[in-house]
Structure 1
């Protein structure tokens, strides 16, 4: 995004900054931005999109760049689009390759989807999650606004034996229309209807400079009910 470095410099030194891997930009662009942010003194978690890598050598070169920059935190995703630029069809393939060439990584995160995925069936999502757990250290959920959905998904996931720590995805300060647009684009369904009924959620989102704690209160209150 334009001005991303200027915006990042407003954060306290040592903040954790995540760099996503856009399908419209190259892996090199992601790594370049990650390197610049690391040079500014931030701890950087770099997204690695499996389908954007052209070869194993491409992945090895990327890991070497991250090592040189002192970046040891990555987040592995499949990446948007049906076609792959190289040998990695999804996140599980990239995880397996990283386990061989980069066992020294500080942390490896993977996505999870309490409300499902717009383009991937529930069974395939479960199989993919299970296949990544051997090398991943944590999972981060897709944004979901329904506490019951999160709770039910987490119980089912733990019952399957997946014990990875999970970070619940929550939105920061963002315009309401833009947030709804994102939710619809990434395939969120039932939880968007929760938003329309929860005026307290919108009030805190609009007025709080750091809405995270308030949103968590709302989620846990809903879970308790």
Structure 2
């Protein structure tokens, strides 16, 4: 059995539309759990802030995505963050470049947004940044490490705490190799490893394609999925078993960040069953 209790401090990715499902499952989720609220096209800041307020009312920690390239102006960012702090008690955010091909405002990337100084002035205490175990479409390996180190150092120098969050993936060995390299470089901050909650295989394949996640036949097989059974469902048991069993003290603090593609209730139920089994 896995030696690392990796589900103890899991977090969840919850869209604004899924907040009612989160409310229904709230009693089964550890009080104070971190709930990431993604920044989705077609929604306005009022909807995002209302979701954050509900997450806070449920007894969880809201963590808003802040996509640098989608921010139109410094004034918009300042208004959004200050309202989040005042109205929902937000103290943490996840700063990403965003999927916009070109900046819509003053921020070309997540580094420039962090270094603008607005987050710490507004009352943000913890800043999440992206880690890339499977690589990055436009950065070399050395560039990825340089950028991650710079962001973490900048966050610390501004009196905040860095958190590294990865995209979901299907190959635990790739994640373990990346974690070892991360720690060897002296980057000691907590990591949340993205993992899909149980969902239909076709749903997982669709999200993988949308997010640029490697899902080749060999990786599907390692994850426990047969290419001939694309109409079935799959959970992350094999991935999490391998990840947890491979972790040691040298890997530092590692928790799961669950993307509940098959629904929040299904993901929470999976955690309960996994804990009982482990």
TM-score above 0.5: yes
* Partner in structure 2 of residue 182 of structure 1: 207
Residue 168 of structure 2 aligns to a residue in which SS?
coil
CA deviation after TM superposition for structure 1 residue 35, in Å: 2.5
* Partner in structure 1 of residue 241 of structure 2: 217
Contact 1:140 1:167 in 2 (8 A): yes
* Partner in structure 1 of residue 168 of structure 2: 143
Structure-1 separation of matches of 2:79 and 2:222: 49
Q: How many pairs are equivalent?
A: 220
| Larger relative contact order (Cα-Cα within 8 Å, sequence gap ≥ 6) | 2
Contact 1:146 1:194 in 2 (8 A): yes
Structure 2 length-normalised TM: 0.67
CA deviation after TM superposition for structure 1 residue 197, in Å: 4.4
Deviates more, 1:106-115 or 1:92-101: 92-101
* Partner in structure 2 of residue 78 of structure 1: 97
Which residue among 26, 43, 54 is the counterpart of 1:12? 26
Structure 2 unaligned regions, length at least 5: 1-14, 156-160, 249-278
Structure-2 separation of matches of 1:140 and 1:7: 23
CA deviation after TM superposition for structure 1 residue 86, in Å: 1.0
* Partner in structure 1 of residue 177 of structure 2: 152
Structure 1 unaligned regions, length at least 5: none
Structure-1 separation of matches of 2:223 and 2:106: 45
State whether structure 2 residue 83 is matched by structure 1 residue 58: no
CA deviation after TM superposition for structure 1 residue 125, in Å: 2.3
1:82-122: CA deviation from partner (whole Å, max 9, x where unpaired): 11121111111111124665373232111111001234443
Structure 1 length-normalised TM: 0.81
Which residue among 197, 202, 208 is the counterpart of 1:172? 197
RMSD of the alignment, in Å? 3.2
Residue 88 of structure 1 aligns to a residue in which SS?
coil
Question: Cα distance 1:114–1:2, how it changes in 2: closer, same or farther (>3 A)?
Answer: closer
Which residue among 100, 110, 113 is the counterpart of 1:94? 113
1:134-187: CA deviation from partner (whole Å, max 9, x where unpaired): 215210111122222112222222233322111111111221111112112222
Which residue among 22, 37, 49 is the counterpart of 2:67? 49
Structure-1 separation of matches of 2:178 and 2:217: 17
Residue 142 of structure 1 aligns to a residue in which SS?
strand
